Amino acid sequence: MFPPQFDYERPDSLDAALDALADEDAVPLAGGHDLVPMLKARERTPGTVVDLGGLAALRGVERVVADGTERLSIGALTTDAALLDADPAGVDALLDATSEVGDAQIRNRGTVGGNLAAAHPASDIPAATLAAGATLHLVGPDGDRTVPAGEFATGDHETVCTDDELVTRVSVPLDPDAGGAYARKTHPSTGYAAVGVAARLRVVDGAVADPRVAAVGLLDVPTRLPAVEGALVGVDAGSPVDAVAGAAERATEGIDGAVREDHVVSAGQRCAVLPEYTERAVSAALARAVGREGVVA
């Protein structure tokens, strides 16, 4: 399989990249593991491929303080492998999810921003950014804007990012006493998640507080699991097993949208395994939160 013919540009600045993307027939190229297979399948036939590989400023991971909150700022072109190598504290679920992406070779090329911008419905990282309450930073011809992780994807491979905009970084709030985790049932054919669940919570005075639980692979967009979150609030962190299992049983309650299915994994199967992976993610997140210094179950 060969890609269709196209022109190739490799801008060396963000401004030049935005100029190139102003052409309505241009598409951005980051790690290439979403775009290049789609080019080969002729699902995309751009006039110009704009390689973002020259934009070194969009690589790297740093702690920043914004509006009095400490956050982890991840450049959109940071590869999955570079994020895992940096091993930043406070983003457990994101590191778990990133380590599940594709395989070692794919993580060496694939980027955090590219993963989010591609908006594959069963991709792992969007579950973690949603559970973490992350913010995506976009830039376009009309300037910068920020989008909460929960409002970024609008459908299967569809986002609020317009064709002439780029995701420049992802900013994840850091909470020193939070714990997070990601667990997934791998789709036996695609290697993506059949369902994947990210959980992030705190333990305050021995009880679960501020739980955020998000699933991918279930709907066309990442979705929070409201009934699980509601049932987790106040759970005794000292003996949580039955309560977490009970909360996880409610994983499909209040889900808004059609559950995905294909010829390998039905909607019913996804719903059937969701509680198990919800329980795994929440239990691991809770164990990590309890393990944080100063947190007493």
Partner 1 sequence: MSEHEIAATVDGATETATVEARRLLVHALRENWGYTQPTVGCESGKCGACTVEMDGEVVKSCCVLAVQADGSEITTVGGIEGAPDGLAEVGGDDVAAADDDGFGPVQRSFHEEHGLQCGYCTPGMILRSRDLLAANPDPSREEIREGLKGNVCRCTGYENVVDAVEAAARKLEPIETDGGAPEDAVDAADGGAD
Q: Name the token pair of 201.
A: 């919570």
Q: For partner 1, give the closer residue by CB, 39 or 213.
A: 39
Shortest distance, position 100 Cβ to partner 1, whole Å: 10
Shortest distance, position 176 Cβ to partner 1, whole Å: 29
Shortest distance, position 147 Cβ to partner 1, whole Å: 28
Shortest distance, position 32 Cβ to partner 1, whole Å: 5
Binding site for partner 1 (CB under 8 A): 1-8, 10, 29, 32-33, 36-37, 39-41, 49, 51, 53, 81, 102-106, 108-109, 191
Q: For partner 1, give the closer residue by CB, 141 or 191.
A: 191
Q: Which residues contact 235 (CB under 8 A, 6 or more apart)?
A: 207, 208, 243, 244, 247
Q: For partner 1, give the closer residue by CB, 50 or 214.
A: 50
**Distance from C-alpha of 262 to C-alpha of 102, rounded to nearest angstrom:** 20
Shortest distance, position 41 Cβ to partner 1, whole Å: 8
Q: For partner 1, give the closer residue by CB, 29 or 134.
A: 29
Q: For partner 1, give the closer residue by CB, 51 or 210.
A: 51
Q: Which residues contact 171 (CB under 8 A, 6 or more apart)?
A: 64, 66, 71, 72, 73, 74, 134, 135, 136, 137
Q: Which residues contact 242 (CB under 8 A, 6 or more apart)?
A: none
**Distance from C-alpha of 125 to C-alpha of 192, rounded to nearest angstrom:** 11
Is the CB of residue 194 less than 8 Å from the CB of residue 98? Answer: no
